[in-house]
Amino acid sequence: MKTVFITGATSGIGEACAEKFAQNNYNLILLARREEKLIQLKNDLEKKYSISIKIICADVRNYSDLEKKLTQLTDTKIDILINNAGLSLGLGPIHEGDISQWDTMIDTNVKGLLYVTRLISPIMLKQNSGHIINISSIAGRETYANGNVYCATKHAVDSISKAIRIDMLPYGIKVTNIAPGMVNTNFSLVRFNGDKNRADSVYKGIEPLYAIDIAESVYFAGAQADNVNLNDIVITPKFQANATTSIRKE
């Protein structure tokens, strides 16, 4: 049986990936900060599918804690790593920016992804096989008004994916970068600090993507023949052309 390691598995895209891979007979290693949600997911998915699930309650920003917890995995085969944990906080011009929100976004979306990759890639090197799938964003391709630091973190993910693809080439480890547009998850609720009206307005008049739509593409990338690597996938809802152009119904 194959094993997939998913960060940010307690919600949205990560949770949908957990279910999609479980359905397809993968064992799971699920990482996030909310332990109760991880335990609930483990119980639900193990009951529903004949798979085994390890949970790791950790914050991707804390390297020493990750190191302690992930070095226990050295005997576990990891076929796919999905670097998905991430967030956006706030939306505003640079001169009004909140420094602690910037730090959280940079530490989670960029440094957290690097920390996890630093710890898991040697396991893949030892195996001489593996696949790293990074969840970037359309905000990693284009910059939109007031998105400054979040867009910068996702541009960094885009660049890191390209760099890791080169680093991993001699070892036969694949790297895929997935860049979704609008996906209706808890993303906007987190961005707007729990303001549900504001979060809902992001998806008003347009049918957004759902977490499962992204999980389908992640699974598709992971299920390619061994000789095939999907480098980049950009996914938007039907009525979104790019980060700043979409058609909304009144």
Which residues are tagged catalytic? 150, 154
243 touches which of ligand NDP, ligand 8X3, none (CB within 5 to 8 A by kind)? ligand 8X3
Binding flag, residue 198, ligand NDP (CB under 6 A): no
**The tokens of 82 are what?**
């999905």
- Which residue lies nearest ligand 8X3, judged by its C-beta? 137
Amino acid at 61: R
Q: Find the binder of ligand 8X3 among 7, 11, 121, 137 (CB under 6 A).
A: 137
DSSP state string for 154-213: HHHHHHHHHHHHHHHGGGTEEEEEEEE--EESSHHHHHTTT-HHHHHHHTTTS--EEHHH
Single out the residue of 4, 11, 63, 47 nearest to residue 29, CA to CA: 4
Task: Name the minimum Å distance from CB 178 to ligand 8X3.
Answer: 11
Task: Name the minimum Å distance from CB 96 to ligand 8X3.
Answer: 18
Binding flag, residue 217, ligand NDP (CB under 6 A): no
Binding flag, residue 148, ligand NDP (CB under 6 A): no
Binding flag, residue 45, ligand NDP (CB under 6 A): no
Give ∠ CA 78-83-84 in degrees, rounded to 5: 130
Round to the nearest angstrom and report the end-to-end CA distance of the chain.
Answer: 49
Note the Cα 231 to chain centre separation in Å: 16
Q: How far is CA 28 from CA 57, 82, 151, 233, in A?
A: 14, 11, 30, 23
What track of x and - describes contact with ligand 8X3 for positions 78 through 117 (by CB under 6 A)?
----------------------------------------
Q: Find the binder of ligand NDP among 2, 54, 61, 198 (CB under 6 A).
A: 61
Binding flag, residue 133, ligand 8X3 (CB under 6 A): no
Contact present, 132 and 175 (Cβ < 8 Å): yes
Single out the residue of 198, 11, 142, 6 nearest to residue 87, CA to CA: 11
Contacts of 37 (CB under 8 A, 6+ apart): 10, 11
Which residues, 64 to 123, sit near ligand NDP by CB under 6 A?
84-87, 108, 112
Task: Name the minimum Å distance from CB 20 to ligand 8X3.
Answer: 20
Give the three-state DSSP class for 50. coil
Task: Name the minimum Å distance from CB 140 to ligand 8X3.
Answer: 8
| Interaction site with ligand NDP (CB under 6 A) | 7-14, 32-34, 37, 59-61, 84-87, 108, 112, 135, 137, 180, 182-183, 185-187, 190, 211
Chain positions contacting ligand 8X3, by CB under 6 A: 137-139, 147, 181-182, 187, 243
